[in-house]
Structure 1
Amino acid sequence: MTGASSRATRTGTENFMLAPLDSFQIDLMKRMQQITESFFSVVTGLDELSTADIFSVPVRNYESEKDMNLSELKQIVEKNKVEFVDIKLIDLLGAWHHITISVSALNEELFRTGVGVDGSSLPGFSKIEHGDMIMLPDPSSAFMDPFYERPTLSLIGNIMEVNDGISEYSRSPRRVAAASERLLAERLPGAKAILGPEFEFYLFDKVNYHQGPDSAFYFLDSAEAPWEAADDEENLGYKIPYKKG
């Protein structure tokens, strides 16, 4: 058999006639091309952001925030009859640390000089010879803590170095996130970074554990677990496979 055939054969090649595109399809293809080009321009721009660029970007003017928000904080304190102020910070591993102070210490001095912390005790922060740091609360992060028994106002703090005056610690997770967001907006107008926490947790019906000088054990029980399949009370709900929870 020679030449092309209009029907598919084992040895021939099928010919197809493409219908002309209508105006809607043409506009859609152009739009998809624009979206693709915009995406690759963003990716290329992100590749150009170096660590040095991020660390060199100033983030906030804490003095202006303090002047703007201190009076509002005092209104929150009076309205909720706050007794304590809890200042939190996050380390490089994502763990929370906090210092609780009396509400009487909530004044301009607190937002100017902060609270002293030992940076060498925080994973990934300063060495012991340069461990003196301060936690400067961010007044814009204030919220009433729902977990304390006594009325407590929570503030998220920014870790600061005090070697040559007060300056933001370059490896602070909050600083890196804020600087990256600002640098992205400067380098790629119209781009917006969306940052947020990812909550992960497990729910068990029963937990037993023991840690002693000569023995240790843990026991976890959940009706959703696959090992409950042989129980007298059959699990009729969803069974979570191993490593799929």
Structure 2
Amino acid sequence: MEHVLVVTPDGAPAGSATRARMRAEGLWHACAVIVVRSLDGERLYVHRRTDTKDVYPGLYDPTCGGVVAAGETPDECAVRELAEELGVAARPEFRFTTPFVDGTIRYHAHVYEVRCDGPFTWQPEEVAWGGWMDLAEVRAKAEDPGWPVVPDGRVLIGEWFSWARSSPELDQRRTEVMLRDEEDGAPPQGRAIDLDAGSVRLTPRAAPRGQPSSRPGPRRGPARRVPGPPPAP
């Protein structure tokens, strides 16, 4: 019989209980939630839950993860859930902790991020479909009340976007870009830095009239359309 970690409303460990009792009594518990991001930082991996899940069946989820087991730390849970659900052997990086409440579903989410391009192996009991979506598409869908997404996934990915836009990591990446430009002999004002959902996009600024640009335009590959997910049942 599976036992899970039970916590107080403040998130402190408070013993354990069976998963069935936790669901039936709406006990506070802990979950590890992982945002799977591509190596280039431009896409998130989204999946659809199977119709047999005990909570939020058949809905889309922009994160993966699960309940922290008794005797397990959130870090250990994140590694285990990532391997079980998507077949990825990696150690996600911790980002933040936040509570989530939806009726009798009450837990503290320990949110992580992992950079990975796959391949992925879906756990048949958990995942019915999975695929990549651009950051902007995920954010737009999460804000769309008509998208059939799990309520906690909608809330937590929104909080992740807020964290990503203000994270120290982003400030560091912005500094690295400017230093790299200086080493290349280009003034920092020679490029515009657009911060979009925690992604650093470099856009060459137009040269003043009558002055040629000091840098060639970016090379672009052929446009590639990422197919959207199938409709939810």
TM-score, length of structure 1 as denominator length: 0.29
Bigger fraction of residues in strand: 2
Q: Rg bigger for which structure?
A: 1
Q: Which of the pair is proportionally richer in helix?
A: 1
Structure having greater relative contact order (Cα 8 Å, sep ≥ 6): 2
